[in-house]
Amino acid sequence: MTTATQLTLATGLVARFADSRRETRTICQGEVHLVAEDETGAVILGEVLDVSSSGFRASYREPSLSAGTEVRFRHKFFRGRARVMWSNPILNSTQSGFQVMRDV
């Protein structure tokens, strides 16, 4: 079964979704600076949540970056360019998944 929903007295409604991630994630924290490479040139200060071999997930308080937006990023362990793959507003913040763009 790929998706299951259950009701428990202790926690209420709990939804479980199959994990469709292709790569293992490693928890990584720290401040990340994102600069949109579009007409807005938005500068965003966020927090890295986890990393994989091809990207990272970050949380930030500014309006959501659109999928496809390219950004320059800087973290204490890495820097470069990435493309926003998805964004999900959650309460007072947004989480986005970024795919690092490698120079060939």
Between 74 and 1, where is the model more confident?
74
Nearest to 101 by CA among 78, 23, 91, 90: 78
CA distances from 73 to 6, 28, 53, 97 (A): 40, 15, 16, 13
Between 14 and 62, where is the model more confident?
62
Cα separation, 59 vs 38, in Å, equals: 20
Between 91 and 99, where is the model more confident?
99
pTM (predicted TM-score): 0.75
Between 64 and 14, where is the model more confident?
64
pLDDT mean over 4-19: 40
